[in-house]
Amino acid sequence: MPNAQLPKIRGVLMFDYLIVGAGFAGSVIAERLANEAGKTVLIVDTRNHIGGNAYDHYDNHGILVHKYGPHIFHTNSRQVFEYLSQFTQWRPYEHRVLASVDGQLLPIPINLNTVNQLYGLNLTSFEVEDFFAKVAEPKDYIRTSEDVVVSKVGRELYEKFFRNYTRKQWGMDPSELDKSVIARVPTRTNRDDRYFTDTYQAMPLHGYTRMFEKMLSHPNIKVMLNTDYREIEGFIPYGEMIYTGPVDSYFSYCYGKLPYRSLEFKHETLNVPVHQVAPVVNYPNEHLYTRCTEFKYLTGQEHQKTSIVYEYPQAEGDPYYPVPRPENAEIYKKYKALADATPGVSFVGRLATYRYYNMDQVVAQALTTYTQITTKPIVELAGNVSGSASNLSSSNVVADRASAPPLEVAAGNGNGNGKSASK
């Protein structure tokens, strides 16, 4: 997206808002500020594309792929779905995942068919409830991710489907992880093999990037790529900042680095129409990768070849997943206190709030933040705009933001294996 001519005030480049990050959080707020509030916005991103981790593109073979792994949209929020529907048509899509266990490909989340196929049984829904009750290990207090699973389906299914996957994904045993990681995973007694059960399940008809392009197409929005905001904030004056990057980075890691898990993606294009029998196959075993995704299932594209991606979790690299442990939460509390005390800056999104959010939750948070920043008292910019090209935010006196109720988004959307398929 080429940068258009930047707006000027009294001969000096000026924006109402500087937004750091062109993913869901930054793009949604930019669109609202421009379209609804008539504000001028400069959005910057260190990457060479918009869309954040949801970015998709056509590979060298003409197959639409998700560069940063599969992003499956699902939500229970009508507001979020209707908002995004302004920028895309949808392709109905219900996600399904299989897990490679004991030489079989079995449905995940665990359901009636999973148990029957694994053990060669023919249980009914009522009988599988009794099965789970017999194998479950009751816990007086659910503290860890291990506690969540073994209290529902017992030790054996935990070992087969969850433990190794989680150890690969998070770099630690489920007994060391907060219960919230695997609490996202349902256990079903029926034959429902859908990965999610949300009211709205669909994929952008022409891809996520196309949706972001429409979202950011307003003339009041300018985009700078391959740019660290620190490179320009001292030269392009602006009123306030929306920050969607890692919160610890913003404060120069003064309390230490917040732990994140990263991923390495190995994309392949194969000279066959179909590679695997499901969109995603999980590997809760000795393989170094956690899952393999075949993109044509997600996009509905017809092509004589197919493209897949393997995911290899790692400790270093781009931050993808905040690690939910009590000690990390304590570090974040310190950064949040700094963020709350920083005038003229709003911290939004997974990285800025150290939350393991799904895409729809980020959109809901961004819409709520927009309401908050546009309902607070108008603040006069300090200083002479024409006299300085420095960041004006530091000299602003910003009133407390009016509280706004968050949009209704189901926090537990039923993701698998302690890892969101929606990223």
B/e letters for 81-115, b = 16+ CB within 10 Å, e = fewer, are bebbeebbebeebebbbbbbbeeebbbbbbbbbbb
**Which band of pLDDT confidence, cut at 50, 70 and 90, is reported for residue 13?**
low
- 8 Å CB contact between 418 and 184: yes
Sign of CA dihedral 409, 411, 412, 414: positive
Residue 182 pLDDT? 83
What is the average pLDDT across 334-338? 98
Residue 395 pLDDT? 28
pLDDT digits 0-9 by tens, 128-151: 999 999 999 999 999 999 999 999
Rounded to a whole number of angstroms, the CA Rg of the chain reads: 23
Q: Where in the chain is the domain with CATH 3.40.50.720?
A: 8-57+64-71+206-255+322-395
Residue 392 pLDDT? 36
Domain boundaries 8-57+64-71+206-255+322-395, corresponding CATH code:
3.40.50.720
pLDDT digits 0-9 by tens, 149-166: 999 999 999 999 999 999
**Which band of pLDDT confidence, cut at 50, 70 and 90, is reported for residue 377?**
low
What is the average pLDDT across 11-25? 88
- Nearest CA-CA partner of 41 in 51, 55, 54, 27: 27
Residues in the chain: 423
Strands 291-294 and 345-347: unpaired
Alpha-carbon gap, residue 391 to 238, rounded angstroms:
6
Helix (H) / strand (E) element for 371: namely helix 359-375
DSSP string, 24-88: HHHHHHHHHHHHTT---EEEE-SSSSSSGGG-EEE-TTS-EEETTS----EES-HHHHHHHTTT-
> Residue 196 to residues 28, 39, 74: CA-CA distances in angstroms?
24, 37, 7
Residue 73 pLDDT? 98
Query: Is the pLDDT confidence value at 312 over 90?
Result: yes
Query: Is the pLDDT confidence value at 384 over 50?
Result: no
Query: Is the pLDDT confidence value at 106 over 50?
Result: yes
In the Cβ-directed half-sphere of 177, how many Cα atoms lie within 13 Å? 30
pLDDT digits 0-9 by tens, 268-308: 999 999 999 999 999 999 899 999 999 999 999 999 999 99
Query: Rounded to the nearest 5 degrees, what angle is found at the Cα of 55, between the Cα atoms of 52 and 58?
Result: 160
* % of the chain exceeding 70 in pLDDT: 86
pLDDT digits 0-9 by tens, 154-212: 999 999 999 999 999 999 999 999 888 887 778 999 999 999 999 999 999 999 999 99
- Nearest CA-CA partner of 333 in 251, 407, 418: 251
Residue 185 pLDDT? 77
Residue 181 pLDDT? 86
Judged by average pLDDT, the poorest of 100-114, 227-241, 261-275, 375-389 is: 375-389
Token pair in block for residue 247: 């919160």
Strand order, beta sheet including 90-92? 74-75, 200-204, 90-92
- 8 Å CB contact between 228 and 46: yes
SS3 393: helix
What's at 150, amino acid-wise? V
Q: Which residues, 6+ apart, have CB-to-CB distance to 257 below 8 Å?
A: 248
Query: Is the pLDDT confidence value at 379 over 70?
Result: no
- 8 Å CB contact between 211 and 84: yes
**Which band of pLDDT confidence, cut at 50, 70 and 90, is reported for residue 252?**
very high
Token pair in block for residue 28: 């949604």
In the Cβ-directed half-sphere of 248, how many Cα atoms lie within 13 Å? 17
**Which band of pLDDT confidence, cut at 50, 70 and 90, is reported for residue 12?**
low
* Tokens 């948070």 sit on residue: 365
Alpha-carbon gap, residue 150 to 392, rounded angstroms:
54
Mean pLDDT in the chain? 88
CA-CA-CA-CA torsion for 78, 84, 87, 91, nearest 10 degrees?
Answer: -70
Q: Which residues pair with 43 in a beta bridge?
A: 19, 223
* Tokens 């908050």 sit on residue: 372
Residue 409 pLDDT? 43
Specify the pTM.
0.87
57: region left, alpha or beta (phi > 0 left; psi from -120 to 50 alpha): beta
Alpha-carbon gap, residue 102 to 154, rounded angstroms:
17
Residue 183 pLDDT? 75
What is the average pLDDT across 265-270? 98
Q: Please, what is the angle between helix 112-119 and helix 125-135, to 10°? A: 70
- Nearest CA-CA partner of 304 in 58, 63, 59: 63
